[in-house]
Structure 1
């Protein structure tokens, strides 16, 4: 499949997990893919993973909490590739801060908001002028079930940040739709990656985990491949008339 042939995509914070698997998926569909992370060792491992899957992943060091770092990365990618068609704001996480509201400090709030909502704001701010010049583009944001229904393993700071990303998605879709730019948001539930599995198992008892699993109509948690297909869809022309949408990808959790 080559739905994305000739397109350049940039993923923030995609050295592992959902971001890495999704970046490989877009590369398999023909995109020229760039991924960022602040850890060069992680980026080197990501390149090897991509190569093992038969694709090339371009890597660039960048810290999603630092505005200048992200601007430098985006400007560099634009110079190298001539355009940026797709931005995937993947960088995010709870940063292992306390998940009980009264235990969260001001610094816990700042760190999580900086990475999640401000990281999305900054990358979008710097890529949108390029997309305006091109008269088109795709921005794909990552919210979370936590931002819509709360979370059993991440705190109020994370839930608030992810809820804000859904609101930002709608506002950007409204403002930049006239330029042919679509902006959509994916809200996964629990996705079993190395990081989230450890967090889930450490913060909830086996009985609590079983109860949550029973509340998912499909009776399983997601894996990264469940999310990567949705990223590829939103990045493609198949989703060309969808913008401002927040799509739950959680196996039906939250319906009842």
Structure 2
């Protein structure tokens, strides 16, 4: 089965590095015209240069920013067929007790992981509905399906919310020809934050983590990109509202 995206216009957020970059690269290699968005100006520009995409620097935690980005893409490319929200992350909030989490700590996690997904879907909806076609994939997490690590209260809550948003949007958008699904990665060493997290486990913790995975290996950004591209494909046109755990069997 060959997945092609010729004549499709895609937006991938969180594309400066890691999973977002891998998804954007795979889409570009499969024929899509790709737009990238990230708050990391240098990183997103580097990705765009390598894969021949158009970079946008944006903090998408507000409806105004999301509307502006979608308008820019439609003005440049005439449409938007594909939306992948891969931005997010723990923002350094790992291994902290609930007593340590301030209101701003809580809200910054939701802004990155949930608010942006909602505002982007809100901005993209009229474009996709008018076209009668759309593919939306959110990158959630195993932490959004079950308790996992200690000290990620805000992140786990946000990813659970993202999964709920994905399922609700699938119900609302389905009659308009738009599918909405989520990929829930296991542990992937995809960026400096996950590298620091990996190092913090130490040799014994690392060994225990890997031994808890059926395939006895960590995932890669390409593993996540491959699953995402299936959800985005024509072949997945009758699949919506689903959450696919890509975690080597750990779940």
For residues 134-188 of structure 1, give each alpha carbon's deviation from its aligned partner in whole angstroms, at most 9, with x where no partner exists. 0010000111011112232761100010011111111100011000100000000
2:23 is matched with 22
Q: Does 1:249 align with 2:249?
A: no
Change (3 A) 1:146 1:2: closer
2:207 is matched with 210
1:107 is matched with 104
For residues 99-129 of structure 1, give each alpha carbon's deviation from its aligned partner in whole angstroms, at most 9, with x where no partner exists. 3333221111000011101111111110011
Aligned length, in residue pairs: 249
Change (3 A) 1:150 1:49: farther
Deviation (angstroms), 1:198: 2.3
2:84 is matched with 88
Q: What secondary structure does 2:184 align onto? A: strand
Runs of 4+ in structure 1 deviating by more than 6 angstroms, as ranges, are none
1:219 is matched with 216
Match for residue 236 of structure 2 among 227, 232, 239: 239
Deviation (angstroms), 1:69: 1.7
For residues 74-97 of structure 1, give each alpha carbon's deviation from its aligned partner in whole angstroms, at most 9, with x where no partner exists. 101011111100000111001102
Q: What secondary structure does 1:118 align onto? A: helix
Deviation (angstroms), 1:193: 1.6
Pairwise mapping of residues 147-158 of structure 1 onto structure 2 (< 5 A)? 147-152=144-149, 155-158=152-155
CA-based RMSD of the aligned residues comes to 1.5
Query: 2:3, 2:229 within 8 Å by CA — same for their partners in 1?
Result: no
Aligned counterparts of 2:28 and 2:195: Cα–Cα separation in 1: 29
Aligned counterparts of 1:199 and 1:17: Cα–Cα separation in 2: 14
For residues 43-101 of structure 1, give each alpha carbon's deviation from its aligned partner in whole angstroms, at most 9, with x where no partner exists. 22112332xxxxx1111121122322221111010111111000001110011024333
Deviation (angstroms), 1:234: 0.9
Match for residue 63 of structure 1 among 55, 59, 63: 59
Pairwise mapping of residues 66-145 of structure 1 onto structure 2 (< 5 A)? 66-100=62-96, 101-145=98-142
Pairwise mapping of residues 30-41 of structure 1 onto structure 2 (< 5 A)? 30-41=31-42
Aligned counterparts of 1:80 and 1:132: Cα–Cα separation in 2: 19
Q: TM-score, structure 1 length as denominator?
A: 0.93
Pairwise mapping of residues 174-185 of structure 1 onto structure 2 (< 5 A)? 174-185=171-182
Deviation (angstroms), 1:202: 4.2
1:53 is matched with none
Aligned counterparts of 2:19 and 2:234: Cα–Cα separation in 1: 22
Q: What secondary structure does 2:181 align onto? A: strand
Aligned counterparts of 2:106 and 2:4: Cα–Cα separation in 1: 39
- Segments of 5+ residues of structure 1 without an aligned counterpart are 51-55
